[in-house]
Structure 1
């Protein structure tokens, strides 16, 4: 049983809220920011998020004919790239718990002519609605920190992954560089909410996003969680000084 199942409250940023309330609160955040999500990602990261995602694609080992699940796929950055790799013989499922984000992603991919081998599914990562041993690769980029029960989500991913398949978690993480940490904290809590207010008309949601990053498990803790979910060969690669880390694990 995961630790979360023994608690009546969980973190929502720096606040403790009833477990049953977190899903709705997170949903409200992403309903609010969905329309400006891509623009804000570029502004928040200086465009570097595209490089982080490019590296994830390169290290996925995806090839023609694969079946891939992109959890918390949002506006479809990874799905779009995977769709081109797997071709007509493969399939990519873009899954997101938030219908506003899913709609933005679907509209964006259809506008770019990417839809033939893509399926859109509204799904909770903690209880994925797919059969066992379905996917060759599962990715979740900048989504795990918003999940209420991360252990349950990782177990669910392991269940629907094929033996020999790979789970990839791209997420903000922890840097051990003191100067970089101070600079990053100043940016996150002083600049980011103001930017959210100016661009998306929503400072509070971006305050939450900054806080959720700080509450996310560090690299070694997440690696251990993936191992506890039944994955093997678990490892991580830091990017941008550890501000972001790419964790991978294999289903035996």
Structure 2
């Protein structure tokens, strides 16, 4: 199984923990400010990105959905609002993020439709051919073994089921690319260090985006692990991308 540069990018270089353990610890630490930082650092654009990604499932009308790396449940909640499936399960390795997500779900009265549970994207605790659709928003960069995680997603999808991945990418337009790099390398970590008291988490974000195999490279990986009809759609001048694939 192939390995990629981003597989080796970790939040805490001095730690002896695995990437998976470090990522779980990092998100536990920043969970209390995660939603706020998402809105603040993206100027609210991230909500529009999620909406566009989920609308790519409208024709399929999935009844049973899985949201991998669900975090605080934003995608799971929006998926229910837009698509009205019978059941959405969200999995994540950060217990603190899940706690916040469960509170949000309960407050909205959606606890019968949405279940958030602890789960590893590289060893998904569901049978083969379970889900009509799987979503991952800003989570595949955090996989310790990218191909293993994607193969697991393929396994639990029903034949004909659709995968939607939303992930950061690097703009290529001259001028925009330089501004983006300045923002990600200088502004975001400094703001994060003040608001969330965890500068390293957002330095990790920047480095993992830089090392991630995006665009055609990532589409090629999706093809290699068994998806078909794969595609990549750039958003916001290339800052973000939506990837699609069918089992």
Q: Shorter-chain TM-score: which interval?
A: over 0.9
CA distance in 1, matches of 2:9, 2:75: 28
What SS is found at the alignment partner of 1:238? Answer: strand
Q: 1:22 to 1:234 in 2, by over 3 A?
A: same
Match of 1:217 among 190, 213, 219: 213
Q: Secondary structure at the residue paired with 1:206? A: helix
CA RMSD of aligned residues (A): 2.2
Q: Which among 93, 113, 134 is matched to residue 89 of structure 2?
A: 93
User: Does residue 142 of structure 1 match 2:141?
Assistant: no
After superposition, the Cα gap between the structure-2 partners of 1:11 and 1:197, relative to the gap in structure 1 and judged at 3 Å, is: closer
Secondary structure of the 1:137 match is strand
TM-score, normalised on structure 1?
0.91
Contact 1:136–1:161 under 8 Å retained in 2: yes
Give the C-alpha shift of residue 174 in structure 1: 2.4
Structure 1 residue 86 displacement after superposition: 5.3
Q: Which has the higher contact order (CA 8 A, sep 6+)?
A: 2
Of 189-198 and 163-172, deviating more is: 189-198
Residue correspondence of structure 1 range 11-160 to structure 2 within 5 A: 11-12=9-10, 21-61=18-58, 66-85=63-82, 87=84, 90-160=86-156
1:241 maps onto 2:240 in alignment? no
Map Cα deviations across residues 46-83 of structure 1 (whole Å, 9 max, x no partner). 00000000101111126766000011111111111222
TM score, norm. by length of structure 2: 0.93
**TM-aligned CA distance change 1:191 to 1:105, over 3 Å:** same
Mark the CA change 1:31 to 1:3 in structure 2 (over 3 Å): closer, same or farther. same
Contact 1:62–1:85 (Cα < 8 Å) also in 2: no
Match of 1:4 in 2: 3
Q: Does the aligned pair in 2 maintain the 1:164–1:250 contact within 8 Å?
A: yes
Number of corresponding residues: 246
1:16 Cα deviation after fit: 9.9
Where structure 2 has 5 or more consecutive residues not aligned to the other structure, the ranges are none
Distance 1:209 1:228 in 2: 26
CA distance in 1, matches of 2:163, 2:8: 25
The verdict on how the C-alpha distance between 1:62 and 1:17 changes in structure 2, with shifts beyond 3 A counting, is farther
